[in-house]
Amino acid sequence: MTTPNEPLLSVQDLQKHFPVTKGLLKRQVGAVKAVDGISFDVFKGETLGVVGESGCGKSTMGRLVTRLLEPTGGKVVFEGQDITHMSQGRLRPLRRDMQMIFQDPFSSLNPRHTVGAIVGAPFRIQGIKTEHGTKKAVQDILELVGLNPEHYNRYPHEFSGGQRQRIGIARTLALKPKMIIADEPVSALDVSIQAQVVNLLEDLQNELDLTYVVIAHDLSVVRHISDRVAVMYLGKLVELADRKDLYESPMHPYTNALMSAVPIPDPARRNDRERIRLQGDVPSPLSPPPACRFHTRCWKAQAICKVEEPPLVELAPRHQVACHFPENVSKESTEAVSA
């Protein structure tokens, strides 16, 4: 059990290096450093958004935290228990508490199973008996996520994309989890439906006291739903702050570039922000740049950025940044940081 100030989830120096092999003997010739030493905490009842360009390691991080992937290094602590190397048997009861929602609701639902069977599966797998029977329990959950309980016997193809994502969400709720890791939960949906599913996630959070980690490349979705936001670049965490601070006063040049591409809704303020266009592609995680991984694309990079990796440090209250020359901080504190 956690006390109020203890994190529900604590990720410490987490790493995942996928081996790259060659030839018949599968000799290892390298490794994709998908996640390369990231640390963060998630507190009860909050939503942590995780953003970054495609390939920066967001999904791998989600899969490591839920132990769908084995980490190469580091630690995952959930409710005070180190689950990094816990056996599958011991993990089983904990799996109820930490569930994952995936991007594509269709491919993650078995087309040959009815909605009742899909949403009720966790009860059977975990061997749980419900008070009024599984059918009633499943119908209650369907109602909770805004689906018609009468549709218990229907198949996934009979539902729209938004409804299918609701089925995916219903399935994760069956075991009353404490934490949900949602990997791009709305990116496969029509824009008109996205807001409904985001609102549903928010309603469920309030009703069921859930804690979320929401992984998304859409910065508007993350801005809407998150309390705090973590920014990843090439397997590293470069900035972590309260939502408002991150969107209004980003300190890492990479975050600043990401934010400059987010449309400002107020037409009067539309010209307030200059769009920063990053040069070049994201380097390969097979051979990431040394020291600061962003230096090859950073307009502020100086000699130190090529030889020394900047640590993630707290430069303002609840605002951590990994950069030798952070933006929006006074000159004095920059000098202090880079000294």
Ligand X SMILES: Nc1ncnc2c1ncn2[C@@H]1O[C@H](COP(=O)(O)OP(=O)(O)OP(=O)(O)O)[C@@H](O)[C@H]1O
Q: How far is the CB of 32 from ligand X (least distance, A)?
A: 4
Q: How far is the CB of 218 from ligand X (least distance, A)?
A: 10
**Is residue 56 near ligand X by the rule CB under 6 A?**
yes
Chain center to CA of 26: 32
Which residue number, 34 or 292, has a Cβ lying nearer to ligand X?
34
Among 10, 60, 139, 165, interactor with ligand X by CB under 6 A:
60
Which residue number, 17 or 300, has a Cβ lying nearer to ligand X?
17
In the chain the first and final C-alpha atoms are separated, in Å, by 41
**Is residue 161 near ligand X by the rule CB under 6 A?**
no
Which residue number, 52 or 310, has a Cβ lying nearer to ligand X?
52
Tokens representing 188?
């496969």
Which residue number, 70 or 248, has a Cβ lying nearer to ligand X?
70
Count residues near ligand X (CB under 6 A).
Answer: 13
Which residue number, 215 or 315, has a Cβ lying nearer to ligand X?
215
**Is residue 59 near ligand X by the rule CB under 6 A?**
yes
Q: What sign does the dihedral 124-128-132-137 (CA atoms) show?
A: negative
Among 30, 37, 45, 55, interactor with ligand X by CB under 6 A:
55
For residue 72, which of 29, 18, 22, 26 has the smallest C-alpha distance? 18
Q: In the stretch 277-316, what mask flags binding to ligand X with x, by CB under 6 A?
A: --------x-------------------------------
Q: How far is the CB of 296 from ligand X (least distance, A)?
A: 16
Q: How far is the CB of 184 from ligand X (least distance, A)?
A: 7
Among 17, 18, 37, 113, interactor with ligand X by CB under 6 A:
18
Which residue number, 115 or 198, has a Cβ lying nearer to ligand X?
198
Among 8, 14, 34, 221, interactor with ligand X by CB under 6 A:
34
Full 3-state SS string of the chain: CCCCCCCCEEEEEEEEEEEEEECCCCEEEEEEEEEEEEEEEECCCCEEEEECCCCCCHHHHHHHHCCCCCCCEEEEEECCEECCCCCHHHHHHHHHHEEEECCCCCCCCCCCCCHHHHHHHHHHHCCCCCCCCHHHHHHHHHHHCCCCHHHHHCCHHHCCHHHHHHHHHHHHHCCCCCEEEEECCCCCCCHHHHHHHHHHHHHHHHHHCCEEEEECCCHHHHHHHCCEEEEEECCEEEEEEEHHHHHHCCCCHHHHHHHHCCCCCCHHHHHHCCCCCCCCCCCCCCCCCCCCCCHHHCCCCCHHHHHCCCCCEEEECCEEECCCCCCCCCHHHHHHHHC
**Is residue 54 near ligand X by the rule CB under 6 A?**
yes
**Is residue 72 near ligand X by the rule CB under 6 A?**
no
Q: Give the range of 58-66, 156-164, 271-279, 316-324 binding ligand X by CB under 6 A.
A: 58-66
Which residue number, 6 or 53, has a Cβ lying nearer to ligand X?
53
Which residue number, 52 or 122, has a Cβ lying nearer to ligand X?
52
Applying the rule CB under 6 A, the residues between 197 and 226 that interact with ligand X are: 217
Applying CB under 6 A, which residues contact ligand X?
18, 32, 34, 52, 54-60, 217, 285
